[in-house]
């Protein structure tokens, strides 16, 4: 009874996993008959998925029933819960039921308990695809390395760290940039730091330079750098996320230094920074500045983000947040 529970907010990685399962289990010649793509936000389609999952495959390969936005582990109505429990024992081995949802399964639901019981028994699989937080440097580095491995690409450590700094938690952009880098370095060649600097590094450096300007008390320079990034079609919220990660790292290092912590590995772990050697550089950057300075800058970023999400023009949001709030 092959059931696959896939969840998490990393849409790009989740989609790759779904398409890999479809490729693995369906025969291309029979895919038009044996593959169903349904939307669980419609209760009728969720019910249809359970009905189709009980039907054996035609011809070669398995039947695959894909239910995006599956309701079965997230606010599942009682009627659908009853249908799922009735259907589970009737799903044949030649059918793969893919239940996909960006939200984490609600462990309190009886449907979740029923599916996770099958996972423990080896009759179903569960995979999570969660994006690291913007300040979780270690998690972002792991995301870069894992994505490269999924794409079958070799990646030098320095290149991984540079991509982490440049892209952060943007999984879709990460996969796209890795594919470009693979073409740039050539088949079978590892992706190097030089390649990342050549193709990816420029805009990331500018985004980080915005934070450097804010730290130096130069909000006008920060606004000019942001305007250049916006003109190059860099998404405004991505700039905010990069700055947020940069400022949170500085804040953590400042707080731990204030507490007398000297172990750079311990500081890097607490701050979510993948490369402990960066702590030395960050200490030089923030020397003489108190944690209150970074909290103030984070408050300014929060105002910018709120303005952007209310629909303000990106340039105006950054100008008002950086220039007006700095006085």
**pLDDT (tens digit, 9 = 90+) per residue, 33-48?**
999 999 999 999 999 9
- Position 231 scores a pLDDT of 85
156: left (phi over 0), alpha (psi -120 to 50) or beta: beta
Residues whose CB falls within 8 Å of the CB of residue 307, separated by 6 or more in sequence, listed in order: 316, 317, 320, 321
Q: Determine the Cα–Cα distance for residues 221 and 213; give it in Å rounded to an integer.
A: 6
- Position 203 scores a pLDDT of 59
pLDDT at 204 over 70: no
**Average pLDDT of the residues in 115-119:** 94
- Position 274 scores a pLDDT of 66
Q: What six digits make up the tokens of 277?
A: 């050697």
pTM: 0.65
Per the model's pLDDT, the better-predicted residue between 325 and 248 turns out to be: 248
pLDDT at 26 over 70: yes
Q: Determine the Cα–Cα distance for residues 240 and 127; give it in Å rounded to an integer.
A: 30
155: left (phi over 0), alpha (psi -120 to 50) or beta: beta
- Position 13 scores a pLDDT of 92
Dihedral sign for Cα 148, 150, 154, 158, please: positive
Confidence band for 198, pLDDT divided at 50, 70 and 90: confident
Confidence band for 134, pLDDT divided at 50, 70 and 90: low
Closest CA relative to residue 257, chosen from 291, 281, 217, 216: 291
Distance of CA 8 to the CA centre of its chain: 9
Residues whose CB falls within 8 Å of the CB of residue 155, separated by 6 or more in sequence, listed in order: 144, 145, 148, 163, 178, 190, 191
pLDDT at 261 over 90: no
Full set of structural domains in the chain with CATH: 3-128 (3.40.50.300), 137-199 (1.10.8.60), 202-324 (1.20.272.10)
Residues whose CB falls within 8 Å of the CB of residue 72, separated by 6 or more in sequence, listed in order: 40, 46, 80, 81, 84, 99, 111, 112, 115
Q: Determine the Cα–Cα distance for residues 84 and 72; give it in Å rounded to an integer.
A: 8
Residues whose CB falls within 8 Å of the CB of residue 314, separated by 6 or more in sequence, listed in order: 230, 236, 308
* DSSP-assigned letter for residue 88: G
Judge residue 186's burial from the number of C-beta atoms within 10 Å of its C-beta, 0-12 exposed, 13-18 middle, 19 or more buried. Answer: exposed
Q: How far is CA 108 from CA 74, 99, 269, in A?
A: 10, 18, 33
Per the model's pLDDT, the better-predicted residue between 168 and 303 turns out to be: 303
**Average pLDDT of the residues in 93-116:** 94
pLDDT at 276 over 80: no
């Amino acid at each position: 009874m092959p059931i696959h529970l896939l969840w998490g907010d990393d849409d790009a990685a989740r989609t790759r996993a779904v398409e890999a399962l479809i490729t693995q289990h369906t025969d291309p010649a029979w895919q038009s008959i044996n593959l169903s793509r349904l939307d669980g936000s419609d209760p009728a389609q969720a019910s249809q998925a359970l009905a189709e999952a009980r039907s054996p495959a035609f011809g070669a390969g398995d039947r695959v029933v894909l239910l995006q936005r599956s309701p079965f582990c997230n606010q599942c109505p009682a009627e659908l819960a009853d249908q799922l429990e009735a259907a589970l024992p009737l799903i044949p081995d030649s059918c793969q039921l893919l239940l996909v949802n960006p939200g984490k399964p609600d462990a309190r639901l009886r449907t979740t308990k029923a599916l996770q019981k099958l996972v423990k028994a080896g009759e179903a699989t569960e995979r999570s695809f969660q994006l690291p937080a913007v300040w979780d440097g270690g998690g972002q580095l792991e995301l870069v390395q894992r994505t490269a491995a999924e794409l079958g690409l070799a990646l030098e450590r320095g290149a991984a760290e540079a991509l982490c700094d440049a892209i952060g938690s943007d999984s879709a952009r990460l996969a796209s940039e890795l594919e470009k880098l693979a073409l740039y370095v050539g088949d079978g060649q590892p992706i190097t730091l030089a390649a990342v600097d050549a193709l990816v590094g420029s805009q990331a450096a500018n985004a980080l330079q915005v934070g450097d300007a804010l730290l130096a008390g130069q909000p006008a320079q920060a606004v000019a750098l942001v305007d250049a990034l916006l003109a190059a079609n860099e998404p405004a919220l991505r700039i905010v996320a990069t700055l947020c990660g940069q400022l949170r790292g500085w804040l953590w290092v400042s707080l731990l230094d204030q507490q007398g912590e000297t172990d750079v590995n311990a500081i890097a772990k607490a701050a979510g920074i993948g490369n402990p050697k960066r702590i030395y550089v960050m200490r030089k950057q923030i020397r003489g500045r108190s944690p209150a300075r970074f909290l103030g800058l984070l408050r300014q970023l929060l105002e910018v983000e709120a303005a952007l999400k209310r629909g303000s023009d990106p340039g105006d949001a950054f100008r008002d947040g950086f220039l007006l709030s700095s006085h």
